[in-house]
């Protein structure tokens, strides 16, 4: 019997990461879609660009990566993020009123959403009412059985308790890092113990799986009846941009393929390590 080709959707920000030595295609949902496609999914990106040179270059970059998409062209500039690196670790300057703040679902995306096996979304693109509405509409269109993956990606100033709580209620998979867990621990008055607070979130929001990344200290996957812990491979880090998105992509594909938790976890860790040893979030992977 042939393996099923899964349909996977990412919705949200699409932009250029402006690095000290040039620009790289970025935006968490775009990164996620690229990496799920690498693992064999029929992957589809929903976002928005401006009618400027940056927007035209994004389309060329997506075509080079064979990424399928449904993208609005709007009157706002294509998103860019200024990225500074310190020992490979990025800090971001994110601009407001850019194209991905004005995502709308196009007719062509509706049949894809209706057959999606997984959809991934974050917090950042919910800062605008227009994109928030598009994300809600997209989630409502996917089948009940679909994975609804919240890759939280908190960025300073661009989240509220209301947005996070509502999004967790829509979701059945959550991926976050140790710093984001501290935010949620304070926000929802959880215990300070990492493992216990993760289990509290898992139970409070009835999640199928929670993935916690701890940077160089490794990562942990939680389900209702299983925990997997994994260390980080020793590699030469070029930068960590997109590492979390590539981890999420491998994680989702492992769940869809019904792999064991241990196999899912190891594949996700190895793939993220590969991305850390390359430049940018979406390197051309051979």
**To which residue do tokens 């009846």 refer?**
225
Element counts in the chain: helices (H) and strands (E) = 9, 13
Confidence band of 82 (pLDDT split at 50, 70, 90):
confident
Please, what is the angle between helix 28-38 and helix 243-256, to 10°?
50
For residues 68-95, average pLDDT: 85
Q: What is the pLDDT of residues 12-36, one digit of tens each?
A: 999 998 887 788 888 999 999 989 9
For 87-144, the DSSP string reads: TTEEEEEE-SS-GGGG----GGGHHHHHT-SEEEE-SGGGGSHHHHHHHHHHHHHS-T
Residue 44 is predicted with a pLDDT of: 97
Say how far apart CA 200 and CA 33 lie, in whole Å: 29
Any idea of the CA torsion for 17, 187, 145, 134, to the nearest 10 degrees? -50
Residue 1 is predicted with a pLDDT of: 37
Domains recognised in the chain with CATH numbers: 7-276 (3.40.1190.20)
Q: What is the pLDDT of residues 105-156, one digit of tens each?
A: 999 999 999 999 999 999 999 999 999 999 999 999 999 999 999 999 898 7
CB-CB contact of 245 with 281 (8 Å): yes
Q: What is the pLDDT of residues 37-54, one digit of tens each?
A: 988 999 999 999 999 999
Q: 162: which DSSP letter?
A: H
Residue 54 is predicted with a pLDDT of: 96
């Amino acid at each position: 019997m042939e393996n099923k080709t899964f349909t996977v959707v990412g919705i949200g920000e699409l932009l250029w990461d402006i690095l000290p030595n040039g620009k790289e295609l970025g935006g968490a949902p775009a990164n996620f879609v690229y990496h799920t496609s690498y693992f064999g999914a029929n992957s589809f990106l929903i976002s928005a660009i401006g009618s400027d040179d940056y927007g035209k270059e994004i389309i060329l970059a997506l075509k080079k990566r064979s990424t399928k998409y449904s993208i609005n062209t709007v009157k706002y500039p294509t998103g860019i993020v200024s990225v500074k690196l310190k020992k490979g670790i990025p800090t971001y300057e994110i601009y407001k009123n850019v194209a991905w703040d004005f995502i709308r679902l196009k007719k062509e995306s509706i049949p894809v959403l209706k057959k999606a096996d997984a959809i991934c979304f974050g917090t950042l693109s919910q800062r605008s009412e227009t994109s928030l509405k598009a994300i809600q509409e997209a989630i409502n269109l996917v089948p009940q059985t679909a994975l609804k993956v919240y890759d939280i990606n908190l960025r300073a100033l661009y989240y509220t308790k209301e947005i996070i709580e509502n999004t967790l209620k829509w979701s059945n998979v959550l991926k976050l890092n140790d710093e984001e867990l501290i935010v949620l621990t304070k926000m929802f008055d959880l215990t300070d113990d990492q493992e216990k607070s993760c289990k509290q979130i898992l139970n409070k929001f009835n999640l199928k799986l929670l993935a916690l990344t701890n940077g160089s200290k490794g990562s942990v996957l939680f389900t209702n009846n299983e925990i997997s812990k994994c260390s980080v491979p020793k590699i030469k880090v070029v930068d960590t941009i997109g590492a979390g998105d590539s981890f999420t992509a491998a994680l989702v594909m492992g769940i869809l393929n019904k792999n064991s938790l241990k196999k899912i976890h190891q594949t996700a860790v190895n793939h993220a390590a590969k991305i850390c040893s390359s430049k940018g979030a979406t390197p051309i992977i051979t």
